[in-house]
Structure formats: C-alpha cells, structure tokens
Amino acid sequence: MPKKGFLITYTLIHTIHIFSVFIYGGFLFIDILFLSKMQQGLSGDEYAKAREAIMVHVRKVVPYALMVAVASGLYMFTQIFGKIENNTLSYFQTLLSIKAFFGLWLGVRGINQKLFKINPWVFKSHFFPFSLVVIIILLSQFMYL
C-alpha cells in the first residue's frame, strides 16, 4: 500500500499534468478546428493580423504548459512504470512506453521551438501534434485494461 504522502504528491502532480495537457491539447484543438478556418472569412492581411493577435497570448502560456506536461509526465512515468518481470514488458508498460515516447517527442519539439528557436523541418502544422495528443489520450484509456 503506497504511503499517504506519496498519494497526495502523485495526485497533485497528476492534476497539474491533466491541466497542462488540457491547455496544450485545447490550443491544438482550437487551432485546427477554428483558427485555421478564419482564412475562409478574412482577407490574407486580416487573417494574419487576427492570428497574430491571438498567438501573442498563446506563446506566453501554451509552450510552458507543454513543458509542465512533459515534466509531470516523466515524474509519473518513474512512479508507475513498475518492475520488468520475465525480461518482458507488460501490456501496461508497453502502452505507457509508447505514450511516453510520443509525449517526449512533443516535448522535444516544443522545447526546441520555444527555448532554442528551432522550428520543425517536418510536420509544421499543428495537425500531427494534435494527432499525437489524441493517440496519447486513447492510450491512457487502454493502458488499464
């Protein structure tokens, strides 16, 4: 049975993780479904101005939410991965590892963009990161089966 202090810490970090993922994934959702569609109703110049007006605020929050999501995810990974038995990963460990790989890929991409100003050479749109977020969410639901 885990200690009470561990459960409180884990629950707190898990809650922070969920909120940060909600912020990051929510932005991707809004960008793909709504912001990208603004082009259809606005001229090129109007679209550029409107998008930049939004992105100024997005850049202040979303990249840091991604970094918090990755950091909290790494902590949780170390706490729940468990022991490898019989030299093979369990179903849970396999799905958790895939989920962690996708999360780390998103984190490396985001950190490169925010901290090092390195823009991605491939997958420049937000569709691929959004797809990974959806896959990560689905994997988190299937991990416990």
- pLDDT tens digits along 9-50: 999 999 999 999 999 999 999 999 988 888 888 888 999 999
25 alpha-carbon distance from chain centroid: 6
pTM: 0.86
Predicted local distance difference test score (pLDDT) of residue 56 = 94
How far is 106 from 49, CA to CA, in rounded Å?
A: 27
Is there a contact between 28 and 129 (Cβ–Cβ < 8 Å)? Answer: yes
